Amino acid sequence: MRVNRTFSIPIELVQELKKKHNQSETVTRALRKYLDKDEVSTITDATDDELIQELRLRFGLMDAKSELLNTIRLMLK
């Protein structure tokens, strides 16, 4: 069962969250990770889209490698 809640968060987080495909799932996973200190996240926990987005940020948004990753990301959808 799911319940809607309203919380106050910094605008920077709101802007980052807007970029996520499934915002509710992103928040749920983040809270579970925060609340369960014993659980260690690994690279295998990340979705393909999250991995591609992180790689794009490392190259810079207008870099040719970044654009290639964006094309791959769009093909996976």
List the domain boundaries for the chain. Answer: 10-41, 43-77
Q: What is the pLDDT of residues 1-50, one digit of tens each?
A: 888 989 898 898 899 899 888 898 889 888 888 888 776 667 787 888 88
Q: In this model, does residue 60 exceed pLDDT 80? A: no
Identify the pLDDT of residue 21. 85
Mean pLDDT within 53-57: 83
The rounded Cα 65 to chain-centroid distance in angstroms is 20
Identify the pLDDT of residue 39. 64
End-to-end CA distance of the chain: 27
